[in-house]
Copies of this chain bind each other. A is one copy, B any other.
Amino acid sequence: MITRKVIVRKKLENILRFSALGGLEEIGRNMVFFEYQNEIIIIDIGLQFPEEETPGIDFIIPNISYLEKKKDNIKAVILTHAHYDHIGAIPYLIQKLGNPVIYATALTKEIVIKRQGEFINLPKLNIKEIKNGDKVRLSNYFEAEFFGVPHNIPDTAGVIIKTPVGNMVYLSDFKFDYDNEGDAVNLEEFKILHKQKIHTLFIDSTNAEVPGKSISERIVEKNLEELFKKATGRIIIAIFASLLTRIAEILKIGEKLNKKIAISGRSMKENIEIAKRLNYIKLAKGTIIPIEEVNKYKDDKIMILSTGAQGEPNASLVKITNGEHRHIRVKPGDTFIFSSSIIPGNERSVQILKDNLARQEAIVYHSKIIDIHSSGHATQEELKTIMKLIKPSFIIPIHGHFFMRAQNGQNAIEIGTPKENVLLADNGQIIHMTKNSAKISKETAPAFYIMVDGLGVGDVEEVVLRDRRLLAQEGMIVIIATLNRRTGRLIKNPDIISRGFIYLKENQKMVEEIRIRIKGIIDKIPRNQAMDSDYLKSIFRERLGQFVYSETNRRPMILPVIIEV
Q: Which residues of A contact B (CB under 8 A)?
A: 25, 51-53, 55-56, 209-211, 344-345, 347-348, 351, 354-355, 357-359, 364, 368-370, 401-403, 406-407, 453-456, 459-461, 463-465, 467-469, 471-476, 478, 480, 482, 491-492, 495, 497, 499-503, 506-507, 551-554, 557, 559, 561, 563, 565
B503 touches A461 (CB 8 A): yes
**Additional A-B contact list (16), CB under 8 Å, known A25-B355, A459-B502:** A51-B348, A52-B348, A56-B474, A344-B344, A355-B402, A455-B552, A464-B501, A468-B472, A469-B472, A471-B471, A471-B499, A491-B565, A492-B565, A495-B561, A497-B559, A565-B565
The residues of B that contact A553 with a CB separation of less than 8 Å are 454-456
| A26 nearest CB neighbor, chain B only | B351
Report which of B344, B357, B499, B557 forms a contact with A559, defined as CB distance below 8 A: B499
Q: Do A500 and B468 form a contact, CB below 8 Å, given A344-B344, A348-B52, A561-B480? A: yes
The residues of B that contact A357 with a CB separation of less than 8 Å are 403
The residues of B that contact A561 with a CB separation of less than 8 Å are 478, 480, 495, 497
Complex Cα distance, B225 from A381, in Å, reads 24
What is the copy number of this chain in the assembly? 2
Complex Cα distance, B464 from A463, in Å, reads 23
The residues of B that contact A453 with a CB separation of less than 8 Å are 554
Complex Cα distance, B471 from A374, in Å, reads 38
The residues of B that contact A559 with a CB separation of less than 8 Å are 478, 497, 499
The residues of B that contact A370 with a CB separation of less than 8 Å are 211
A355 touches B403 (CB 8 A): yes
The residues of B that contact A401 with a CB separation of less than 8 Å are 351, 354-355
B348 touches A344 (CB 8 A): yes
A464 touches B471 (CB 8 A): no
A463 touches B503 (CB 8 A): yes
Report which of B52, B209, B351, B502 forms a contact with A464, defined as CB distance below 8 A: B502
The residues of B that contact A499 with a CB separation of less than 8 Å are 464, 467, 471, 476, 557, 559
Complex Cα distance, B557 from A497, in Å, reads 13
A492 to chain B, nearest CB (A): 6
The residues of B that contact A358 with a CB separation of less than 8 Å are 402-403, 406-407
The residues of B that contact A551 with a CB separation of less than 8 Å are 455
B480 touches A475 (CB 8 A): no
B482 touches A475 (CB 8 A): no
Complex Cα distance, B473 from A553, in Å, reads 24
